[in-house]
Amino acid sequence: MSHGKYKYNPETLEFENNERTKRQKQLISFLSVIIGSLIIAVSIFFVYVLFFDINIKKQKAFENQILQEQYDKLMARKIQNEAYLQELIKKDEIIYQAVFKSLPDNTAFENNNPYLKFSEKDTKSIVENNTERLLKNRKAAQNEKTKFSEFYKHVLNSVDKSKKDIPSIQPVYNSDFKYPVYGYGERIDQVYKSLVFHPGIDFAVPEGTVVFACADGKVEKSGRKRGLGKRIVINHKNGYKTVYAHLDKLNVGVGKTVKKGQKIGTVGMTGKSLIPHLHYEIRFNDKPVNPVNYFFLDLDPIKFAQIVSESKKSGLSLD
């Protein structure tokens, strides 16, 4: 026989039945299950987080190890490449000195990080600087376009019916532009390593290459001149003169009348010349003009644009 639970009530001086009701027992059982489940879930969560965190740390450590190994390999390759680069620079200096009798300008290699200056500027200043340079380039291009239009009108107005007295062909055969063309204007002198005005263009062609008269005219000078070596000056109509310098052979003398395309000599390296090449000038009223601009009378638009671009590539002269 089971005995119930009783509790003494001092007010009524009686023992009262203190046993929980069935509903209370069910509620307590339900809460016990809920609390137990929560405790188990929290325990599992902490164990999982602890285990997962350990795995993440191991994975990161493994990834860092791989990255470190890759970084070490890249640094080793960088050091090796720098060593190769220094060897190339030394070889370049030896070859350059043998050919041009001077040392090349290797200042581009002195700065290990040419983009370092950009890291010290914010994006806004870089954009503003580039915008300013773009506007200047557009203005310069517009000025060049205007000058060329004026030049074009001037040439067309001065050309006679035959067009034979206007220098309009290349002085050497270079229709496919196989040989480099060094342009007119401010250039670096290969002997004195200083910026000088180059009054003509240079064709880097082999020694012995035939030189042609670029227009009809009369030979005004034929012989040696200091710096230019063996040179020929032809006087054309309408104030034009052409100069052909650093020649090896002179096939025409002073007073000789020549025709456009006639052989007048061969290329050499006389005078202040480091390699065989032809120095070619056009003078109008005794003032030098850019000879490249006159080739448009002889070349199609595509080839004309090509030789203009070719002549602007290098900042050097061969004289």
Residues 6+ apart with CB under 8 A from 270: 224, 229, 230, 246, 247, 248
Q: Can you tell me whether residue 59 is helix, strand or coil?
A: helix
Nearest to 179 by CA among 277, 245, 295: 277
pLDDT, average across residues 31-37: 83
172 and 154 housed in the same domain? no
Q: Mean pLDDT, to the nearest integer, of 295-314?
A: 76
- Residue 245: phi, psi to the nearest 5? -125, 165
Note whether residue 107 is domain-resident.
no
Give pLDDT, residue 166: 85
Q: Are residues 171 and 135 in the same domain?
A: no
Domain, as residue range, for 125:
113-158
How would residue 263 be classed by pLDDT, with cut points 50, 70 and 90? very high
CA–CA distance, 238 with 248 (Å, rounded to integer): 29
The count of domains in the chain is 3
Task: Check whether residue 200 and residue 275 sit in a common domain.
Answer: yes
- Of 244, 275, 276, 273, nearest in space to 258 by CA: 244
239 vs 3, higher pLDDT:
239
Long-range Cβ pairs for the range 297-305 (8 Å, 24+): 297/155, 297/159, 297/163, 297/166, 297/168, 298/168, 298/169, 298/170, 303/175, 303/177
Do residue 230 and residue 193 come from a single domain?
Answer: yes
Do 198 and 241 reside in the same domain of the chain? yes
Residues 198 and 308 in one domain: yes
- What integer is the mean pLDDT of 153-182? 73
Identify whether residues 95 and 144 lie together within a single domain.
Answer: no
- Indicate if the pLDDT at residue 107 is higher than 60: no
Sign of the CA dihedral with 110 first, then 114, 120, and 126 last: positive
Q: For residue 106, is it within any domain?
A: no
pLDDT at 6: 63
Q: Tell me if the pTM is above 0.85.
A: no
In this predicted model, which residue has the larger pLDDT, 291 or 43?
A: 291
Instruction: Specify which of 23-32, 73-82, 101-110, 214-223 reaches the highest per-range mean pLDDT.
Output: 214-223
CATH number (domain holding residue 244): 2.70.70.10
pLDDT in the model for residue 148: 66
Say if CB 201 and CB 218 are below 8 A apart. Answer: no
- Three-class secondary structure of residue 271 per DSSP: coil
Q: pLDDT digit string (tens) for 66-92?
A: 888 888 888 888 888 888 777 777 777
Residue at token pair 């003009």: 289
- pLDDT given at position 245: 95
Question: What distances in angstroms separate CA 220 from CA 93, 144, 234, 256, one per listed residue?
Answer: 42, 32, 5, 8
